[in-house]
């Protein structure tokens, strides 16, 4: 296996926390997104979407989506289980991973890419030139506020976002809350349950800030 990655970016960070929890190490190539290295070799030949992470599997196919990579690694390294133990736990974790991605990570990305002059014609990641849409900045900020409230309510009386143990749902939510810092947004002071949960996750060795 070989992994192409940029650990400080939100999607690679989700994967790296997952790998650290399982004590998985994969030979990697660092692709500096800030320098535009994703548009050149060697990533260009590996992943025509120009995105990271990208995992070249032992079987040959290249996986370019975090959920797919985690499914693959979970099957190969089942302990500790991070995608659920029982059918209902697996379903709950998958549901919350999807909600976190759609309700939190995407809105933050919309603010980041549509409000930053450095991303002119790069409104979306990938090979196409996509114009920025400034209106998405305000919408993304509104959705992020709602997302924080959703997590606050969900975590009331709970130690984990889904199931009875730390899981991929917690990883996704933590990485998304950290990504909010990229647009200078913090967890609101009134979200005490969410703040408590984030502090506990941050104490895990896997959650240590990655090197740039």
Residues 91, 185 within the same domain: yes
The number of folded domains in the chain is: 2
Please state, for a pLDDT cut of 90, what percent of the chain lies above it. 91
pTM: 0.95
Tens digit of pLDDT for each residue in 26-67?
A: 999 999 998 999 999 999 999 999 999 999 999 999 999 999
Structural domain that includes position 13: 2-76
Residues 132, 61 within the same domain: no
* Total Cβ atoms within 10 A of residue 209: 10
Is residue 118 very low, low, confident or very high in pLDDT (cuts 50, 70, 90)? Answer: confident
Structure tokens at 179: 């990504």
Beta-sheet strand order (sheet of 28-30): 28-30, 2-5, 54-56, 62-63
Q: Which of 15, 16, 23, 32 is nearest to 97 (CA)?
A: 15
């Amino acid at each position: 296996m070989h992994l192409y990655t940029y650990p400080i970016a939100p999607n690679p960070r989700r994967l790296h926390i997952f790998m650290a929890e399982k004590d998985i190490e994969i030979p990697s190539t660092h692709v500096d997104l800030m320098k535009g290295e994703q548009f050149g070799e060697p990533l260009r030949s590996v992943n025509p979407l120009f995105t990271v992470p990208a995992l070249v599997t032992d079987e040959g196919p290249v996986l370019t989506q975090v959920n797919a990579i985690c499914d693959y690694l979970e099957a190969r390294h089942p302990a500790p289980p991070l995608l659920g133990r029982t059918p209902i736990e697996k379903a709950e974790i998958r549901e919350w991973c999807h909600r976190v991605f759609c309700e939190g990570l995407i809105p933050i990305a919309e603010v980041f890419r549509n409000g930053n002059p450095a991303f002119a014609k790069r409104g979306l990641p990938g090979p196409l030139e996509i114009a920025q849409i400034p209106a998405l900045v305000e919408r993304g900020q509104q959705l992020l506020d709602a997302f924080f409230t959703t997590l606050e309510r969900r975590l009331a009386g709970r130690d984990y976002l889904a199931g009875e143990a730390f899981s991929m749902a917690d990883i996704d939510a933590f990485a998304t809350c950290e990504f909010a810092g990229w647009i200078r947004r913090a967890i609101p002071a009134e979200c005490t349950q969410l703040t408590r949960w984030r502090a506990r996750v941050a104490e895990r060795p896997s959650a240590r800030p990655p090197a740039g």
